[in-house]
Homo-oligomer: A and B are copies of this chain.
Amino acid sequence: MGKNKKFVEAITSMSEDFAKWYTDIVKKAELVDYSSVKGCMIIRPYGYAIWENIQKDLDGRLKATGHENVYMPIFIPESLLQKEKDHVEGFAPEVAWVTHGGTEELTEKLCVRPTSETLFCEHYAKIVQSYNDLPKLYNQWCSVVRWEKTTRPFLRTTEFLWQEGHTVHATPEEAQKETIDMLNVYADLCEQTLAIPVIKGQKTEKEKFAGASATYTIESLMHDGKALQSGTSHNFGDNFAKAFGIQYTDKNGTLQYVHQTSWGVTTRLIGAIIMVHGDDSGLVLPPRIAPIQVVIVPIAQHKEGVLDKANELKDKIAKVARVKLDDSDKMPGWKFNEYEMKGVPVRLEVGPKDIENNQVVLVRRDTREKAVVSMDELEEKLSALLEDIQKSLLEKARTLRDEKTYVAHNMEEFKETADNKSGFIKAMWCGSRECEEKIKEIAGTTSRCIPFEQEHIEDKCVCCGKEAKHMVYWGKAY
Protein backbone atom coordinates (compact mmCIF):
# COMPACT_ATOMS: atom_id res chain seq x y z
CA MET A 1 0.00 0.00 0.00
CA GLY A 2 3.05 2.27 0.11
CA LYS A 3 2.56 3.29 -3.49
CA ASN A 4 -1.08 4.22 -2.89
CA LYS A 5 -0.24 6.25 0.13
CA LYS A 6 2.38 8.21 -1.69
CA PHE A 7 -0.09 8.89 -4.48
CA VAL A 8 -2.64 10.37 -2.09
CA GLU A 9 -0.13 12.33 -0.06
CA ALA A 10 1.02 14.15 -3.14
CA ILE A 11 -2.09 16.35 -3.03
CA THR A 12 -2.18 19.33 -0.74
CA SER A 13 -5.35 19.37 1.32
CA MET A 14 -7.99 21.94 0.51
CA SER A 15 -8.00 23.45 3.99
CA GLU A 16 -4.23 23.71 4.14
CA ASP A 17 -3.75 25.65 0.91
CA PHE A 18 -6.68 25.97 -1.46
CA ALA A 19 -4.66 27.45 -4.32
CA LYS A 20 -2.08 24.68 -4.10
CA TRP A 21 -4.84 22.06 -3.81
CA TYR A 22 -6.30 23.42 -7.04
CA THR A 23 -3.03 23.37 -8.92
CA ASP A 24 -2.27 19.87 -7.63
CA ILE A 25 -5.57 18.59 -8.97
CA VAL A 26 -5.24 20.09 -12.43
CA LYS A 27 -1.80 18.48 -12.70
CA LYS A 28 -2.46 15.11 -11.03
CA ALA A 29 -5.80 14.54 -12.71
CA GLU A 30 -3.93 15.28 -15.95
CA LEU A 31 -6.23 18.07 -17.02
CA VAL A 32 -3.52 20.52 -17.95
CA ASP A 33 0.21 20.84 -18.48
CA TYR A 34 2.44 23.84 -18.76
CA SER A 35 4.65 24.65 -21.73
CA SER A 36 7.33 27.15 -22.61
CA VAL A 37 4.58 29.50 -23.82
CA LYS A 38 4.14 31.76 -20.83
CA GLY A 39 0.58 32.12 -19.61
CA CYS A 40 -0.83 29.53 -22.03
CA MET A 41 -1.89 26.04 -21.06
CA ILE A 42 -1.88 22.66 -22.72
CA ILE A 43 -5.27 21.03 -22.26
CA ARG A 44 -4.56 17.32 -21.96
CA PRO A 45 -6.90 14.55 -23.20
CA TYR A 46 -8.82 14.18 -19.94
CA GLY A 47 -9.31 17.93 -19.55
CA TYR A 48 -10.21 18.35 -23.20
CA ALA A 49 -12.76 15.52 -23.01
CA ILE A 50 -14.53 17.45 -20.24
CA TRP A 51 -14.54 20.54 -22.46
CA GLU A 52 -15.91 18.50 -25.37
CA ASN A 53 -18.78 17.30 -23.19
CA ILE A 54 -19.55 20.86 -22.10
CA GLN A 55 -19.36 22.01 -25.73
CA LYS A 56 -21.65 19.28 -26.95
CA ASP A 57 -24.26 20.10 -24.34
CA LEU A 58 -24.12 23.86 -24.86
CA ASP A 59 -23.90 23.62 -28.64
CA GLY A 60 -27.09 21.56 -28.57
CA ARG A 61 -28.80 24.22 -26.46
CA LEU A 62 -27.63 26.98 -28.82
CA LYS A 63 -28.79 25.16 -31.94
CA ALA A 64 -32.12 24.30 -30.32
CA THR A 65 -32.66 28.04 -29.76
CA GLY A 66 -31.97 28.84 -33.42
CA HIS A 67 -28.30 29.85 -33.30
CA GLU A 68 -25.86 29.07 -36.10
CA ASN A 69 -22.10 28.57 -35.84
CA VAL A 70 -19.67 30.62 -37.92
CA TYR A 71 -15.94 31.26 -37.94
CA MET A 72 -14.38 34.73 -37.96
CA PRO A 73 -10.72 35.59 -38.58
CA ILE A 74 -8.22 35.22 -35.76
CA PHE A 75 -6.83 38.74 -36.36
CA ILE A 76 -8.32 42.20 -35.94
CA PRO A 77 -6.66 45.16 -37.71
CA GLU A 78 -5.88 48.00 -35.30
CA SER A 79 -8.22 50.39 -37.11
CA LEU A 80 -11.13 47.98 -36.80
CA LEU A 81 -10.56 47.47 -33.08
CA GLN A 82 -10.61 51.24 -32.63
CA LYS A 83 -14.06 51.78 -34.10
CA GLU A 84 -15.95 51.57 -30.82
CA LYS A 85 -14.37 53.89 -28.25
CA ASP A 86 -15.14 52.08 -24.97
CA HIS A 87 -14.37 48.72 -26.49
CA VAL A 88 -10.87 49.65 -27.64
CA GLU A 89 -10.12 51.31 -24.31
CA GLY A 90 -11.14 48.13 -22.53
CA PHE A 91 -9.17 45.72 -24.70
CA ALA A 92 -6.21 47.49 -26.31
CA PRO A 93 -4.04 47.32 -23.16
CA GLU A 94 -4.32 43.54 -23.03
CA VAL A 95 -3.95 42.26 -26.58
CA ALA A 96 -1.14 40.50 -28.40
CA TRP A 97 0.06 42.44 -31.46
CA VAL A 98 1.24 40.87 -34.69
CA THR A 99 3.65 43.30 -36.35
CA HIS A 100 5.41 41.05 -38.87
CA GLY A 101 4.14 38.57 -41.45
CA GLY A 102 6.91 36.32 -42.73
CA THR A 103 9.91 38.58 -43.19
CA GLU A 104 7.95 41.78 -43.76
CA GLU A 105 6.79 44.42 -41.35
CA LEU A 106 3.04 44.96 -41.62
CA THR A 107 1.75 48.37 -42.64
CA GLU A 108 -1.03 47.98 -40.08
CA LYS A 109 -0.56 45.89 -36.99
CA LEU A 110 -3.09 43.17 -36.19
CA CYS A 111 -4.16 41.99 -32.78
CA VAL A 112 -4.95 38.39 -32.01
CA ARG A 113 -8.67 38.54 -31.18
CA PRO A 114 -9.38 39.14 -27.48
CA THR A 115 -13.10 38.90 -28.43
CA SER A 116 -14.74 39.33 -31.83
CA GLU A 117 -17.40 42.06 -31.56
CA THR A 118 -15.63 44.23 -34.11
CA LEU A 119 -15.36 41.43 -36.68
CA PHE A 120 -18.99 40.43 -36.28
CA CYS A 121 -20.04 44.07 -36.57
CA GLU A 122 -18.12 44.57 -39.79
CA HIS A 123 -19.73 41.43 -41.21
CA TYR A 124 -23.23 42.35 -40.05
CA ALA A 125 -22.88 45.79 -41.63
CA LYS A 126 -22.36 43.99 -44.95
CA ILE A 127 -24.98 41.27 -44.78
CA VAL A 128 -27.87 43.03 -43.03
CA GLN A 129 -29.99 45.22 -45.29
CA SER A 130 -33.65 44.68 -44.56
CA TYR A 131 -35.88 43.57 -41.69
CA ASN A 132 -36.07 40.26 -43.55
CA ASP A 133 -32.42 39.67 -42.68
CA LEU A 134 -33.10 39.91 -38.94
CA PRO A 135 -32.46 38.50 -36.47
CA LYS A 136 -29.04 36.99 -37.09
CA LEU A 137 -28.13 34.59 -34.30
CA TYR A 138 -24.49 33.64 -34.70
CA ASN A 139 -22.10 31.82 -32.43
CA GLN A 140 -18.42 30.96 -32.68
CA TRP A 141 -16.26 28.37 -30.89
CA CYS A 142 -12.64 29.48 -30.82
CA SER A 143 -9.72 30.59 -28.68
CA VAL A 144 -9.03 34.17 -27.67
CA VAL A 145 -5.96 35.89 -26.28
CA ARG A 146 -5.70 38.45 -23.49
CA TRP A 147 -2.32 39.42 -22.18
CA GLU A 148 -2.53 38.48 -18.52
CA LYS A 149 0.18 39.15 -15.96
CA THR A 150 -0.69 36.40 -13.48
CA THR A 151 -2.29 33.26 -14.75
CA ARG A 152 -3.87 30.07 -13.36
CA PRO A 153 -5.01 27.08 -15.39
CA PHE A 154 -8.63 27.45 -16.57
CA LEU A 155 -9.26 30.52 -14.37
CA ARG A 156 -7.08 33.09 -16.04
CA THR A 157 -4.78 32.31 -18.94
CA THR A 158 -3.36 34.34 -21.78
CA GLU A 159 -5.16 32.11 -24.24
CA PHE A 160 -8.42 30.38 -23.44
CA LEU A 161 -11.14 28.49 -25.29
CA TRP A 162 -14.68 29.80 -25.36
CA GLN A 163 -17.80 30.37 -27.37
CA GLU A 164 -18.92 33.85 -28.21
CA GLY A 165 -22.47 34.50 -29.36
CA HIS A 166 -23.17 37.66 -31.37
CA THR A 167 -26.68 38.55 -32.42
CA VAL A 168 -28.42 41.44 -34.15
CA HIS A 169 -32.09 42.26 -33.79
CA ALA A 170 -34.64 44.71 -35.14
CA THR A 171 -35.81 46.08 -31.78
CA PRO A 172 -34.42 46.86 -28.32
CA GLU A 173 -36.99 44.48 -26.82
CA GLU A 174 -35.81 41.54 -28.92
CA ALA A 175 -32.19 42.25 -28.05
CA GLN A 176 -33.02 42.45 -24.36
CA LYS A 177 -34.99 39.20 -24.56
CA GLU A 178 -32.06 37.47 -26.28
CA THR A 179 -29.61 38.78 -23.65
CA ILE A 180 -31.70 37.31 -20.82
CA ASP A 181 -32.58 34.13 -22.71
CA MET A 182 -28.92 33.35 -23.20
CA LEU A 183 -28.14 34.08 -19.56
CA ASN A 184 -30.82 31.53 -18.74
CA VAL A 185 -29.29 29.01 -21.14
CA TYR A 186 -25.99 29.44 -19.27
CA ALA A 187 -27.69 29.10 -15.90
CA ASP A 188 -29.39 25.89 -17.08
CA LEU A 189 -26.10 24.54 -18.41
CA CYS A 190 -24.45 25.21 -15.05
CA GLU A 191 -27.22 23.80 -12.89
CA GLN A 192 -28.46 20.89 -15.00
CA THR A 193 -25.20 19.75 -16.52
CA LEU A 194 -22.35 20.99 -14.31
CA ALA A 195 -24.35 20.74 -11.05
CA ILE A 196 -23.26 24.28 -10.18
CA PRO A 197 -25.92 26.60 -8.72
CA VAL A 198 -25.66 30.19 -9.90
CA ILE A 199 -26.93 33.64 -8.97
CA LYS A 200 -28.35 35.45 -11.99
CA GLY A 201 -28.10 39.20 -12.04
CA GLN A 202 -26.89 42.39 -13.63
CA LYS A 203 -23.41 43.84 -13.38
CA THR A 204 -23.02 47.38 -12.06
CA GLU A 205 -21.91 50.15 -14.43
CA LYS A 206 -18.39 49.80 -13.07
CA GLU A 207 -18.19 46.08 -13.78
CA LYS A 208 -19.92 45.95 -17.14
CA PHE A 209 -18.28 44.93 -20.42
CA ALA A 210 -16.35 47.47 -22.50
CA GLY A 211 -18.89 48.86 -24.96
CA ALA A 212 -22.05 47.27 -23.54
CA SER A 213 -25.11 49.15 -22.33
CA ALA A 214 -25.87 46.35 -19.86
CA THR A 215 -24.02 43.22 -18.75
CA TYR A 216 -25.68 40.27 -17.05
CA THR A 217 -23.82 37.53 -15.24
CA ILE A 218 -24.13 34.18 -13.55
CA GLU A 219 -22.05 34.04 -10.39
CA SER A 220 -21.11 30.84 -8.61
CA LEU A 221 -19.39 30.26 -5.30
CA MET A 222 -16.29 28.13 -4.96
CA HIS A 223 -15.42 25.85 -2.06
CA ASP A 224 -13.15 28.50 -0.55
CA GLY A 225 -15.93 31.08 -0.52
CA LYS A 226 -14.63 33.06 -3.48
CA ALA A 227 -16.98 33.96 -6.29
CA LEU A 228 -16.46 33.02 -9.91
CA GLN A 229 -18.05 34.92 -12.77
CA SER A 230 -19.14 31.89 -14.79
CA GLY A 231 -20.76 33.42 -17.84
CA THR A 232 -21.82 36.83 -19.08
CA SER A 233 -24.42 38.14 -21.51
CA HIS A 234 -24.30 41.69 -22.85
CA ASN A 235 -26.89 43.96 -24.37
CA PHE A 236 -25.08 46.47 -26.60
CA GLY A 237 -28.15 48.47 -27.51
CA ASP A 238 -27.18 50.29 -30.70
CA ASN A 239 -23.71 51.40 -29.52
CA PHE A 240 -21.83 49.14 -31.88
CA ALA A 241 -24.45 49.49 -34.62
CA LYS A 242 -23.79 53.24 -34.68
CA ALA A 243 -20.02 52.85 -34.59
CA PHE A 244 -20.09 50.29 -37.43
CA GLY A 245 -23.11 51.52 -39.39
CA ILE A 246 -25.21 48.37 -39.06
CA GLN A 247 -28.58 49.50 -40.41
CA TYR A 248 -31.63 47.89 -41.91
CA THR A 249 -34.72 49.11 -43.73
CA ASP A 250 -37.82 48.42 -41.66
CA LYS A 251 -41.27 47.52 -43.00
CA ASN A 252 -42.05 51.21 -43.52
CA GLY A 253 -38.92 51.76 -45.56
CA THR A 254 -37.16 53.68 -42.78
CA LEU A 255 -33.49 53.10 -42.06
CA GLN A 256 -32.94 51.83 -38.51
CA TYR A 257 -29.99 50.74 -36.42
CA VAL A 258 -29.91 47.14 -35.25
CA HIS A 259 -29.80 46.16 -31.58
CA GLN A 260 -27.10 43.80 -30.60
CA THR A 261 -26.04 41.25 -27.98
CA SER A 262 -23.02 39.14 -27.18
CA TRP A 263 -22.47 36.41 -24.62
CA GLY A 264 -19.81 33.88 -23.73
CA VAL A 265 -18.64 31.09 -21.50
CA THR A 266 -15.12 29.71 -21.38
CA THR A 267 -12.91 26.83 -20.25
CA ARG A 268 -13.05 28.64 -16.91
CA LEU A 269 -16.13 26.47 -16.29
CA ILE A 270 -13.74 23.55 -15.80
CA GLY A 271 -12.12 25.56 -13.01
CA ALA A 272 -15.55 26.01 -11.47
CA ILE A 273 -16.24 22.27 -11.61
CA ILE A 274 -12.98 21.58 -9.80
CA MET A 275 -13.52 24.20 -7.10
CA VAL A 276 -17.21 23.50 -6.49
CA HIS A 277 -17.18 19.69 -6.40
CA GLY A 278 -13.59 18.62 -5.74
CA ASP A 279 -12.30 17.23 -2.43
CA ASP A 280 -9.03 16.16 -0.84
CA SER A 281 -8.89 13.02 -2.97
CA GLY A 282 -9.12 14.99 -6.19
CA LEU A 283 -11.72 15.81 -8.79
CA VAL A 284 -15.40 14.97 -8.40
CA LEU A 285 -17.11 15.12 -11.78
CA PRO A 286 -20.83 15.48 -12.39
CA PRO A 287 -21.84 12.41 -14.42
CA ARG A 288 -23.21 14.45 -17.34
CA ILE A 289 -19.78 15.80 -18.25
CA ALA A 290 -17.55 13.02 -16.90
CA PRO A 291 -15.45 11.53 -19.74
CA ILE A 292 -15.62 8.24 -17.85
CA GLN A 293 -18.82 7.73 -15.88
CA VAL A 294 -18.08 4.24 -14.64
CA VAL A 295 -14.71 2.61 -14.19
CA ILE A 296 -14.52 -1.13 -13.79
CA VAL A 297 -11.73 -2.31 -11.50
CA PRO A 298 -11.39 -6.11 -11.55
CA ILE A 299 -10.32 -7.68 -8.27
CA ALA A 300 -7.86 -10.58 -8.46
CA GLN A 301 -7.95 -10.22 -12.21
CA HIS A 302 -5.45 -13.02 -12.75
CA LYS A 303 -8.07 -15.50 -11.50
CA GLU A 304 -9.97 -17.39 -14.14
CA GLY A 305 -13.10 -15.75 -15.44
CA VAL A 306 -12.61 -12.34 -13.80
CA LEU A 307 -11.46 -10.43 -16.88
CA ASP A 308 -13.99 -12.20 -19.07
CA LYS A 309 -16.77 -11.16 -16.74
CA ALA A 310 -15.36 -7.61 -16.50
CA ASN A 311 -15.38 -7.33 -20.28
CA GLU A 312 -18.89 -8.70 -20.44
CA LEU A 313 -20.04 -6.10 -17.90
CA LYS A 314 -18.27 -3.37 -19.84
CA ASP A 315 -20.20 -4.19 -23.01
CA LYS A 316 -23.44 -4.21 -21.04
CA ILE A 317 -22.73 -0.89 -19.33
CA ALA A 318 -21.58 0.76 -22.58
CA LYS A 319 -25.23 0.85 -23.58
CA VAL A 320 -26.16 3.15 -20.71
CA ALA A 321 -22.96 4.95 -19.70
CA ARG A 322 -19.42 5.96 -20.71
CA VAL A 323 -17.43 3.09 -19.24
CA LYS A 324 -13.78 2.16 -18.95
CA LEU A 325 -12.32 -1.15 -17.88
CA ASP A 326 -8.89 -0.80 -16.31
CA ASP A 327 -7.26 -4.20 -16.75
CA SER A 328 -3.71 -2.85 -16.43
CA ASP A 329 -1.41 -4.70 -14.04
CA LYS A 330 -1.52 -1.97 -11.38
CA MET A 331 -2.86 -2.93 -7.94
CA PRO A 332 -6.60 -2.37 -7.37
CA GLY A 333 -5.81 0.09 -4.55
CA TRP A 334 -3.68 2.15 -6.92
CA LYS A 335 -6.50 2.18 -9.44
CA PHE A 336 -9.02 3.22 -6.77
CA ASN A 337 -6.88 6.25 -6.02
CA GLU A 338 -6.25 7.12 -9.63
CA TYR A 339 -9.92 7.19 -10.58
CA GLU A 340 -10.83 9.03 -7.41
CA MET A 341 -8.26 11.64 -8.40
CA LYS A 342 -9.88 11.79 -11.83
CA GLY A 343 -13.32 12.20 -10.29
CA VAL A 344 -14.95 9.23 -12.02
CA PRO A 345 -18.50 9.19 -10.57
CA VAL A 346 -18.84 5.44 -10.07
CA ARG A 347 -16.34 2.64 -9.51
CA LEU A 348 -17.45 -0.90 -10.14
CA GLU A 349 -15.52 -3.66 -8.39
CA VAL A 350 -15.88 -7.22 -9.51
CA GLY A 351 -13.92 -10.22 -8.22
CA PRO A 352 -14.25 -14.01 -7.95
CA LYS A 353 -16.60 -13.88 -4.95
CA ASP A 354 -18.82 -11.31 -6.65
CA ILE A 355 -19.04 -13.47 -9.74
CA GLU A 356 -19.99 -16.45 -7.58
CA ASN A 357 -22.79 -14.38 -6.07
CA ASN A 358 -23.85 -12.81 -9.40
CA GLN A 359 -23.18 -9.34 -8.00
CA VAL A 360 -20.89 -6.35 -8.25
CA VAL A 361 -19.89 -3.59 -5.84
CA LEU A 362 -20.66 -0.01 -6.84
CA VAL A 363 -18.82 2.81 -5.06
CA ARG A 364 -19.89 6.38 -5.66
CA ARG A 365 -17.16 9.00 -5.79
CA ASP A 366 -19.01 11.82 -4.07
CA THR A 367 -20.05 10.05 -0.83
CA ARG A 368 -17.92 6.91 -1.15
CA GLU A 369 -21.03 4.89 -0.33
CA LYS A 370 -20.81 1.26 -1.37
CA ALA A 371 -23.68 -0.79 -2.68
CA VAL A 372 -23.83 -4.43 -3.63
CA VAL A 373 -25.92 -4.83 -6.75
CA SER A 374 -27.14 -7.89 -8.59
CA MET A 375 -25.71 -8.21 -12.09
CA ASP A 376 -29.24 -8.70 -13.39
CA GLU A 377 -30.22 -5.20 -12.36
CA LEU A 378 -26.95 -3.51 -13.19
CA GLU A 379 -27.86 -1.17 -16.07
CA GLU A 380 -30.96 0.06 -14.32
CA LYS A 381 -29.24 0.60 -10.95
CA LEU A 382 -26.29 2.30 -12.57
CA SER A 383 -28.44 4.73 -14.52
CA ALA A 384 -30.34 5.60 -11.37
CA LEU A 385 -27.11 5.98 -9.40
CA LEU A 386 -25.62 8.37 -11.98
CA GLU A 387 -28.80 10.44 -11.91
CA ASP A 388 -28.71 10.50 -8.14
CA ILE A 389 -25.07 11.61 -8.05
CA GLN A 390 -25.80 14.38 -10.55
CA LYS A 391 -28.69 15.60 -8.39
CA SER A 392 -26.97 15.36 -5.06
CA LEU A 393 -23.88 17.21 -6.31
CA LEU A 394 -26.10 20.14 -7.18
CA GLU A 395 -27.87 19.98 -3.82
CA LYS A 396 -24.62 19.78 -1.92
CA ALA A 397 -23.20 22.72 -3.82
CA ARG A 398 -26.36 24.73 -3.19
CA THR A 399 -26.25 24.00 0.53
CA LEU A 400 -22.61 25.02 0.70
CA ARG A 401 -23.31 28.20 -1.24
CA ASP A 402 -26.21 29.09 1.04
CA GLU A 403 -24.13 28.43 4.14
CA LYS A 404 -21.49 30.77 2.82
CA THR A 405 -23.93 33.56 1.96
CA TYR A 406 -24.10 36.29 4.59
CA VAL A 407 -26.19 39.39 5.15
CA ALA A 408 -24.75 42.75 6.23
CA HIS A 409 -27.04 45.47 7.53
CA ASN A 410 -24.32 48.04 8.04
CA MET A 411 -20.71 48.66 7.19
CA GLU A 412 -19.33 47.33 10.49
CA GLU A 413 -21.13 44.06 9.95
CA PHE A 414 -19.98 44.07 6.33
CA LYS A 415 -16.34 44.54 7.23
CA GLU A 416 -16.45 42.01 10.04
CA THR A 417 -17.98 39.42 7.74
CA ALA A 418 -15.53 40.16 4.95
CA ASP A 419 -12.61 39.92 7.38
CA ASN A 420 -13.66 36.70 9.07
CA LYS A 421 -15.77 34.73 6.65
CA SER A 422 -15.47 33.99 3.03
CA GLY A 423 -18.50 33.90 0.79
CA PHE A 424 -21.16 36.13 -0.67
CA ILE A 425 -22.28 39.15 1.33
CA LYS A 426 -25.74 40.47 0.57
CA ALA A 427 -26.13 44.17 1.30
CA MET A 428 -28.08 47.20 0.11
CA TRP A 429 -26.54 49.74 -2.24
CA CYS A 430 -27.43 53.26 -3.32
CA GLY A 431 -26.18 52.74 -6.85
CA SER A 432 -23.22 55.13 -6.73
CA ARG A 433 -19.81 54.21 -8.04
CA GLU A 434 -18.31 56.03 -5.07
CA CYS A 435 -19.85 53.62 -2.55
CA GLU A 436 -18.90 50.66 -4.72
CA GLU A 437 -15.28 51.77 -4.66
CA LYS A 438 -15.36 52.57 -0.96
CA ILE A 439 -16.72 49.12 -0.13
CA LYS A 440 -13.87 47.58 -2.07
CA GLU A 441 -11.40 49.75 -0.19
CA ILE A 442 -12.83 48.93 3.23
CA ALA A 443 -13.75 45.28 2.84
CA GLY A 444 -11.81 44.11 -0.21
CA THR A 445 -14.97 42.93 -1.95
CA THR A 446 -16.35 43.83 -5.35
CA SER A 447 -19.95 43.85 -6.47
CA ARG A 448 -20.69 40.49 -8.05
CA CYS A 449 -24.15 41.38 -9.31
CA ILE A 450 -27.51 42.99 -8.71
CA PRO A 451 -29.48 39.74 -8.54
CA PHE A 452 -32.77 39.36 -10.40
CA GLU A 453 -34.21 37.97 -7.17
CA GLN A 454 -34.09 41.05 -5.00
CA GLU A 455 -34.48 40.97 -1.22
CA HIS A 456 -35.16 43.88 1.06
CA ILE A 457 -32.53 43.94 3.80
CA GLU A 458 -32.54 47.59 4.76
CA ASP A 459 -33.91 50.88 3.36
CA LYS A 460 -30.48 52.45 3.26
CA CYS A 461 -27.21 51.88 1.41
CA VAL A 462 -24.82 49.85 3.56
CA CYS A 463 -22.05 52.31 2.80
CA CYS A 464 -23.37 55.90 2.64
CA GLY A 465 -26.73 55.52 4.38
CA LYS A 466 -28.58 57.19 1.52
CA GLU A 467 -31.63 55.57 0.03
CA ALA A 468 -30.85 52.10 -1.30
CA LYS A 469 -31.65 51.19 -4.88
CA HIS A 470 -30.67 47.54 -5.01
CA MET A 471 -29.65 44.57 -2.98
CA VAL A 472 -26.26 43.48 -4.26
CA TYR A 473 -24.15 40.34 -3.92
CA TRP A 474 -20.60 41.29 -2.91
CA GLY A 475 -17.59 39.05 -2.69
CA LYS A 476 -13.99 38.35 -3.41
CA ALA A 477 -13.66 36.90 -6.85
CA TYR A 478 -11.35 34.87 -9.07
Residues of chain B lying within 8 A (CB to CB) of residue A43:
70-71
Total identical chains: 2
CB of A123, distance to nearest CB on chain B (Å):
6
Bound form: Cα–Cα A102–B119 in Å: 20
Judge whether B33 and A74 touch: CB under 8 Å. no
Judge whether A70 and B99 touch: CB under 8 Å. no
Name the CB-closest residue of B to A146.
B102
Given the contacts A37-B77, A71-B161, A123-B33, A95 and B99 also touching, CB distance less than 8 Å = no
Residues of chain B lying within 8 A (CB to CB) of residue A253:
none
A69-99: CB near B (< 8 Å → 1, else 0) gives: 1111111110110000000000001111111
Name the CB-closest residue of B to A97.
B100
Tell me whether A2 is interfacial, beta carbon within 8 Å.
Answer: no
Given the contacts A35-B123, A36-B77, A143-B74, A96 and B98 also touching, CB distance less than 8 Å = yes
Bound form: Cα–Cα A33–B71 in Å: 10
Chain A, 98-153, CB within 8 A of any chain B CB:
98-103, 109-110, 112, 119, 122-123, 126-127, 138, 142-143, 145, 147
Tell me whether A389 is interfacial, beta carbon within 8 Å.
Answer: no
Bound form: Cα–Cα A51–B69 in Å: 10
CB of A286, distance to nearest CB on chain B (Å):
20
Name the CB-closest residue of B to A106.
B96
Q: Which of B35, B73, B138, B147 contacts A73 (CB 8 A)?
A: B35
Residues of chain B lying within 8 A (CB to CB) of residue A112:
74, 98, 112
Judge whether B45 and A102 touch: CB under 8 Å. no
Judge whether B110 and A37 touch: CB under 8 Å. yes
Name the CB-closest residue of B to A43.
B71
Tell me whether A412 is interfacial, beta carbon within 8 Å.
Answer: no
Tell me whether A68 is interfacial, beta carbon within 8 Å.
Answer: yes
Q: Which of B45, B99, B159 contacts A69 (CB 8 A)?
A: B45
Tell me whether A255 is interfacial, beta carbon within 8 Å.
Answer: no
Residues of chain B lying within 8 A (CB to CB) of residue A52:
69
Tell me whether A306 is interfacial, beta carbon within 8 Å.
Answer: no
Judge whether A71 and B42 touch: CB under 8 Å. yes
CB of A103, distance to nearest CB on chain B (Å):
6
Bound form: Cα–Cα A51–B72 in Å: 14
Name the CB-closest residue of B to A59.
B52
Chain A, 43-79, CB within 8 A of any chain B CB:
43-45, 48-49, 51-52, 68-77, 79
Max chain B C-beta neighbours (<10 A), residue from A33, A73, A100, A159: A73
Q: Which of B68, B98, B126, B127 contacts A98 (CB 8 A)?
A: B98
Judge whether A145 and B74 touch: CB under 8 Å. yes
Residues of chain B lying within 8 A (CB to CB) of residue A109:
100
Chain A, 299-348, CB within 8 A of any chain B CB:
none
Tell me whether A180 is interfacial, beta carbon within 8 Å.
Answer: no
Residues of chain B lying within 8 A (CB to CB) of residue A77:
36-37
CB of A71, distance to nearest CB on chain B (Å):
4
Can you list 24 A-B pairs with a CB-CB distance of less than 8 A? Answer: A35-B72, A36-B77, A36-B80, A36-B122, A37-B76, A37-B77, A42-B73, A42-B123, A43-B71, A44-B70, A48-B69, A49-B69, A71-B143, A73-B159, A75-B96, A93-B102, A95-B101, A95-B102, A96-B98, A97-B98, A97-B100, A98-B98, A101-B158, A102-B147
Q: A interface vs B, CB < 8 Å?
A: 33, 35-37, 40-45, 48-49, 51-52, 68-77, 79-80, 93-103, 109-110, 112, 119, 122-123, 126-127, 138, 142-143, 145, 147, 158-159, 161
- Known interface pairs A42-B123, A52-B69, A102-B147; 12 further A-B residue pairs with C-beta atoms within 8 A, sorted by A's residue number: A33-B126, A36-B80, A37-B73, A37-B77, A40-B73, A42-B70, A45-B68, A48-B71, A51-B71, A75-B96, A96-B101, A100-B109
What 6 pairs across the A-B complex have the smallest Cβ distances? A40-B73, A45-B68, A43-B71, A37-B73, A101-B147, A97-B100
